[in-house]
Amino acid sequence: MLRAIVIGGGIAGSFISHFLQETGVDVLMISEKTTYPPIGLIHSMLLRFDTDMELAKRTLEIYRSLDCCSWVLKEYPAYTFIGEEVDINKYIRLWSSYGSDSREITIEEASKLMGIKLMPGGRAIISKDRLVNIAGIVNHIRSRVKVINGFARLKRNAAGFSALVNGTEYRGDIIIVAAGAINGKLLGDAGVSVPLKSYGCRALLLLVGPKLDKAIIYDYVNHFYMRPATPLTASIGDEESPLVDPLNMPNLVTPDFITSMKNSFKSRFGKTPISLLGRQGACESSPDMFPIIGEAATGLYIMGALNGYGAEIGPALAEALVSIVLGGKPRLDVSRYLLSRYAGAVFPSDWEIGHEPHEVL
């Protein structure tokens, strides 16, 4: 029986472990305790590229196939505000073609639908999107696979690669590194070069009242997104990508960030909200801002650079990577995401973090 070690227990590592185990592979997942907000993460079908939409559609099918948790998906109206210069019909056609019925509405119509007066600025699209219970799903998968809790380091010697955890060495026929923002460090410490860079992500919980807690907002005019949280509250985040060391995170929920988010909210909704608390983490990018899957060295695989939209495309990419590992053909065309796209290329040692692929431009 093939033995696989998966380093990482977030969306990527959990779903890789899930799909490997479903094919009969002996899986060991190594992960520190992974936490996700119980309010859920956005699974969006309102993305920028066809290939991402294909992955998001397959991911939605995967979520719906899971028999777990008190809830898996919750659907909400979604409002997208984009600049006057953007080709709005291109996105309406793209999203609608994948089953996310979308149409342009006026700001006044959006105000009536939301039950709150909106400030002018840009053009509006109404669609539907959803939250996914990633915390519940990850915990469900962890309960069904063998897990070692701890921080893993990748070790390389003449015999190949192994994982070192709490002084104990673990070997498998293959190792898959899917540890989020620390992928680059784990691989680099083992002498494996993959173009990855870590950056910070952050969000603020706002008291918004009984209307704005029931909608998903993508405001590319005022540079924020917002999703429902607990009753009367919503989580708001920005488009900034500050570089960070994921093992030594600075405080990203600064007074300037809080002020900026309140101002962005006010620019759309005409009032200043009350901030309750902040949350931060680290994301990971590649030079072209698309995820990476593939074989990094003999017997060593990588899934990384999920760029803040792992909940949208992560499960489908994990399924594709498992097919590749087992010598099969992925059900979707994932050539855009293969590590081999960098083969033979001189990729930069440093690069500017661009727009995340799910951001509408």
CA 158 to chain CA centroid, Å, is 35
In-domain check, residue 72: no
CA distance 243 to 25: 37
CA distance 271 to 262: 9
What residues make up the domain containing 205? 77-127+198-282
Q: What is the pLDDT of residue 331?
A: 96
Q: What is the pLDDT of residue 353?
A: 83
Residue 187: strand pairing partners: none
CA distance 241 to 247: 17
In-domain check, residue 141: no
User: 218: domain CATH number?
Assistant: 3.30.9.10
Number of domains in the chain: 1
In-domain check, residue 111: yes
Q: What is the pLDDT of residue 153?
A: 96
Q: What angle do CA 264, 267, 271 make, to 5 degrees?
A: 100
Task: Answer whether residue 37 shows pLDDT above 90.
Answer: no
Asked if residue 151 lies in contact with residue 162, where contact means CB atoms within 8 angstroms, the answer is no
In-domain check, residue 261: yes
In-domain check, residue 53: no
Task: Answer whether residue 354 shows pLDDT above 80.
Answer: no
In-domain check, residue 82: yes
CA distance 307 to 354: 10
In-domain check, residue 87: yes
Least confident of 168-172, 318-322, 355-359: 355-359
Q: What is the pLDDT of residue 159?
A: 86
CA 233 to chain CA centroid, Å, is 22
pLDDT tens-digit readout, 9-22: 999 999 999 999 99
In-domain check, residue 69: no
Residue written as tokens 């002084």? 167
pLDDT tens-digit readout, 223-257: 999 999 999 999 999 988 889 999 999 999 999 99
Q: What is the pLDDT of residue 239?
A: 87
Q: How many helices (H) does the chain have, and how many strands (E)?
A: 8, 18
**Both tokens of residue 101?**
């019925």
pLDDT tens-digit readout, 121-174: 999 999 999 999 999 999 999 999 999 999 999 999 888 999 999 999 999 999
pLDDT tens-digit readout, 49-92: 999 999 999 999 999 999 898 899 999 999 999 999 999 999 99
